[in-house]
Amino acid sequence: MAMAVGMTQAELHGFGRHGGRIDDAMRAFPRAPRPWLDLSTGINPLAWSPPAGLAVDSAPLPAITALRALEAAAAHYFGCAPSRVAAVPGSEVALRLLPMLGLPGPIVAARPGYGTHSEIAEASVATIDARPGTILFANPNNPDGRLLDRAALHVLATRQAAGGGWLVIDEAFVDTMPEASILPLVDDAAPVVVLRSFGKFFGLAGVRLGFVVAPPAVIDRVR
């Protein structure tokens, strides 16, 4: 695709960030082939429809009891206790909260990785192995698809815990291969935080939803 006339490198760089802007891109590249496909939205083309007899009230904000019911449903799906799950308005928000949750520093992000990982981390590494502080990575990874199997994750978590460190595993894409999730192998004592995304797999237009799965003490800080 040819560079849009009059656009600077800095302006073009903005299109490389996550978050859509497909309308701006269409204006910047008017001669590009149509139709455009926006891969950043996470909107399921086979949209969910409420089954007959289910009333969906989209007007009020959810009460605490409704929020806890949502978390319990998510916990059932994840295979863990509801006390270990907190709902957040998108896993992006959970990532931004990480530096405020009292996890041991430094936060070290694996590269290549999701852009927000590097923004909140204090350092980055190309190899995922046990080290002081907190290791942050996606599994499966975005953008290269790197995948650590469940057994390798368990070994890494054990070694990290032995050194007083923590793992933060971004499982935004694990719903396509649930056998890779670390959640069945960890409990309240494990220094592991898992981030899950509703939108990447179930995505509904207008719904911004994610979950933090962690020991209850961390969940209390998230809430």
Give the mean pLDDT per block of 10 residues along the chain (223 residues). 51 66 86 81 68 82 92 96 95 94 96 92 95 97 92 95 97 93 93 93 82 97 94
d(CA 40, CA 200): 9
Cα distances (angstroms) measured from residue 134 to each of 64, 138, 194, 222: 31, 13, 13, 17
Instruction: State the CB neighbour count (10 A cutoff) for residue 14.
Output: 13
Task: Give the start-to-end residue ranges of the domains of the chain.
Answer: 6-41, 64-222
**pTM reported for the whole predicted model:** 0.85
Q: In what order do the strands lie in the sheet with 192-197?
A: 85-88, 210-213, 192-197, 166-170, 134-138, 107-110, 123-125
d(CA 182, CA 120): 23
Q: Which CATH number fits domain 64-222: 2.60.120.680, 2.40.110.10, 3.30.499.10, 3.40.640.10?
A: 3.40.640.10
Maximum CA extent, the chain: 57
d(CA 81, CA 94): 19
Instruction: State the CB neighbour count (10 A cutoff) for residue 193.
Output: 24
Q: pLDDT of 56-65, one tens digit each?
A: 777 888 899 9
The type of residue at 92 is E
Q: pLDDT of 45-104, one tens digit each?
A: 676 777 888 887 778 888 999 999 999 999 999 999 999 999 999 989 999 999 999 999
